Chain A
Amino acid sequence: EPEVTQTPSHQVTQMGQEVILRCVPISNHLYFYWYRQILGQKVEFLVSFYNNEISEKSEIFDDQFSVERPDGSNFTLKIRSTKLEDSAMYFCASRPDQTYEQYFGPGTRLTVT
């Protein structure tokens, strides 16, 4: 069964450094998402992406964040200058065109020290 994959599974970085989190969505899906989950809190929406552009973003997704689909398979989230409060699990999700259920990857645990 096709699934969303994410790399790395765990990333440790120092405050102020740039990180890139990578995702490979399910191959025939057209809509892509990033969410994050701070330990013990709700899963929160960050951004959605369709047709090579951002379709919606939350108030969390400020200028420090960017997304890109550099080729036909990868979908990336970049955080330019990480802060301690960016420490969280980051989940990529994708969905097909005709329905609205979203399929999530296993997540990347980002630790900012």
Chain B
Amino acid sequence: QKEVEQDPGPLSVPEGAIVSLNCTYSNSAFQYFMWYRQYSRKGPELLMYTYSSGNKEDGRFTAQVDKSSKYISLFIRDSQPSDSATYLCAISSLGRLYFGRGTQLTVWP
């Protein structure tokens, strides 16, 4: 079942670039949207959580949700080499999370 689609990349950008990561989903019942960062062989680390359409900002990170298009995005401003990781979108109705495949990001100095 392709509940959540995410381009796996890899994505390689220079330090300071703006990064855009995206996911689409199929089920309009999904209400809760999360972005996780995962380093190799580690657990997903929650970055952003939102439940409404529009933008939510936290430091250099902005999460954007468009429920009408079933499209979510994560923007990273002024990207740093320490941002190099795999970014996972995760979407939920009331319980289980449905994850995208993850986008592997490398920020080079």
Contact = CB atoms under 8 A, between A and B. Distances in A.
A complexed with B = yes
A45 B46 CA distance: 16
Residue of A35, A101, A106, A107 contacting most chain B CB atoms (<10 Å)? A101
A103 B97 CA distance: 11
Interface in B19-75: 31-32, 34, 36, 41-46, 49, 51
A43 B88 CA distance: 9
Instruction: Sort chain B's interface into a size bin.
Output: 20 to 34
B108 interface: no
B92 interface: yes
Contact of A104 (B31, B36, B102): B36
Interface residues of A, number: 27
B88 A100 contact: no
Contacts of A4: 43
A48 interface: yes
B100 A99 contact: no
A100 B52 CA distance: 13
B101 A55 contact: no
B98 A91 contact: no
Interface of B: 31-32, 34, 36, 41-46, 49, 51, 88, 90, 92, 94-102
Given A42-B99, A104-B45, 12 more contacts: A42-B100, A42-B101, A45-B97, A48-B95, A55-B95, A58-B96, A89-B41, A91-B44, A100-B51, A102-B34, A102-B97, A106-B43
